Each structure stands twice: as C-alpha cells, then as structure tokens.
Amino acid sequence: MKKESSAAGKILTVFFVLLCLLWIFPIFQVVVNSFKSNASINTNAFSLPDENSFVGFQNYLKGMTFGNYPFLKSVGYSLFITVASVVLILLFTSMSAWYIARVNSLVAKAFYYLCLFSMIVPFQMVMFTLTFTADNLKLNTPWTIPIVYLGFGAGLAIFMFVGFVKGLPLEIEEAAAIDGCGPVRTFFLVVLPMLKPTLISVGILETMWVWNDYLLPYLVLDRTKYMTIPIHVQYLKGSYGSVDLGATMAVIMLSIIPIIIVYIFCQKYIIKGVAAGAVKG
C-alpha cells in the first residue's frame, strides 16, 4: 500500500509540475517577447532573443511614450479606480454581511440571496442596460465608476463575509454592548478587527479583478478622456491599424508585474480567508 501511494504521489507531482509549466508558459513568452524586436516577434514568436532580435528596454520606453495618451496617466486612473473600488467594497460589504448574519429577518435573507444571485448573472446580460444607467447617473468617470464596481463586487464579498461572521462568537459583541458600545462602535472596534483574514483575502481577489478588468471601463468610461491600462494596451496601434507587438508585450508586463507581486506575497491569506468563510458558513 505504501509503495502504491508513493508511486501515485510521484505521478501526481509530475502531473502538477507539467500543469504549472503549462500555465506559466504564456507569461514566459510575454517576458521574452518584450525584449525582442517587432519584426522578430512576427517572424518567430517562440524563439529566444539573440544578438539580432534583442532590443533591451526599447520596447518598454516605446510602450510608455507611444501615441498621444501617456501611459503613466493610464496607470494613475487604474490605480485610483482599483484602490477606491476595493475600499468601497470592503467597507460596505463587511457592514452588510454583519447585519445579514446577525439580523434574522426576511429582508436580510432576501438581500443575501439577491447578492448570491448576482454572482451567477453573466455580465453580458446587463452590460447594455448598465451603460445606459451609468451615463444617465453620471457614473462614467474614473471618480464615480467605483460605485459600479461596488455593485458587481458585492456578491462574492458578502458571501465570504457572511460565512466568516457566522463563526464569530456573539458573546464578544454582547459584552461590547454592555460596556456602552453602539452598533457603529461595535462594528469598527470589535467586529472589523476580527474580520482581518477575510478582509485581506477579499481585498486581494477584488484588486486582481478590478486592476485587470477591461470590459467594464471600456463600456462605461469616455475613452477619449480616460483610459485604464487594459484599454491603453488595445490602443497601441500605429498607422493603418498596425500593432507594435514588442511595445504591447512590454506594456502588458508593466501591468501584470504589480498584481503578480501582490498575489505572491498575499496568496496565503486568500486560502485562509476563503477556507474560513466556507467552513464557518
């Protein structure tokens, strides 16, 4: 039995190593091609850089200065939208989840199930109505689009928060109430610190989603004035629609490096938060 389990473990290890390499390969190709000339990429995209195709950091400089729209401006918009959206999602959904978990009413249950239902509704079903609504309510700017992200990100966040809050001891909140804390002080001074594992995991998941999102900003924002990084990548085109693949790969690398770093350092919190919410719910 031990030999069979050992052999099965080795087979699974080899399988998952190969699977990991398969997932990493596209990222590796983006890194390699970001240092190659555009002609070399068009000729052989899978070759390694050599003395004829290697261009150093020229693609990165070209990608940051290409066209009439500054790349750093797109970075600024993406950064603001991501930070503002995640802060709104964490604040409002954690408060809503605490109310849902502690108030046993029909309204709270209905709201909870509506949030769960929003997780399974495809974005394509609501995108045209959403665009019309966002234009009428003036939510089509980087300063207001976080409100739209709050609506779309609330489902997953509330689901995870409710599961975690249900596992928190109610006696701690009752003790805070006896000491004179109202609902607001109880939430921010007692409940919110205990939500730290789920706050971190939800924050990371929402950050990766908002930072990399292309379709929602593309539909809602005025692209002549505001471009996030994913939209900026699409418009790296020259005359007659020609695309500089080297500059495009470089800009893609600049956009994914921050989120990869965040994920590498915080992935353990994602696992802990998701597990805690799932088990305690």
| pLDDT, mean of residues 184-201 | 88
10 lies in the same domain as 121 = no
22 lies in the same domain as 152 = no
**Residue 26: which domain range?**
2-60
Residues 190-196: contacts with CB within 8 Å, 24+ apart?
191/98, 191/165, 192/94, 194/168, 195/94, 195/161, 195/164, 195/165
On the question of pLDDT at 112 being above 70, the answer is yes
What pTM was computed for the model?
0.85
97 lies in the same domain as 47 = no
- Domain of 199, CATH number, reads 1.10.3720.10
Confidence class for position 181, pLDDT limits 50, 70, 90: confident
155 lies in the same domain as 263 = yes
Number of domains in the chain: 2
On the question of pLDDT at 281 being above 80, the answer is no
191 lies in the same domain as 250 = yes
Average pLDDT of the chain? 84
Q: Per the domain annotation, does 100 fall within a domain?
A: yes
213 lies in the same domain as 103 = yes
Q: Per the domain annotation, does 65 fall within a domain?
A: no
Q: What is the DSSP string of 63-122?
A: HHH-SSS-HHHHHHHHHHHHHHHHHHHHHHHHHHHHHHHH---HHHHHHHHHHHHHHHS-
182 lies in the same domain as 101 = yes
38 lies in the same domain as 169 = no
Confidence class for position 279, pLDDT limits 50, 70, 90: very low
Which residue, 10, 33, 60, sits at the end of a domain?
60
Asked which of 65-69, 97-101, 134-138, 251-255 is least confident by mean pLDDT, the reply is 65-69
12 lies in the same domain as 138 = no
Collect all residues with Cβ–Cβ distance below 8 Å to 117 and sequence separation of at least 6. 155
Q: Per the domain annotation, does 11 fall within a domain?
A: yes
Per-residue pLDDT of 72-95, as tens digits, reads 889 999 999 999 999 999 999 999
On the question of pLDDT at 241 being above 80, the answer is no
Q: Say if CB 30 and CB 252 are below 8 A apart.
A: yes
182 lies in the same domain as 44 = no
The CA distances from residue 163 to 43, 105, 208, 280, in Å, are 52, 17, 22, 5
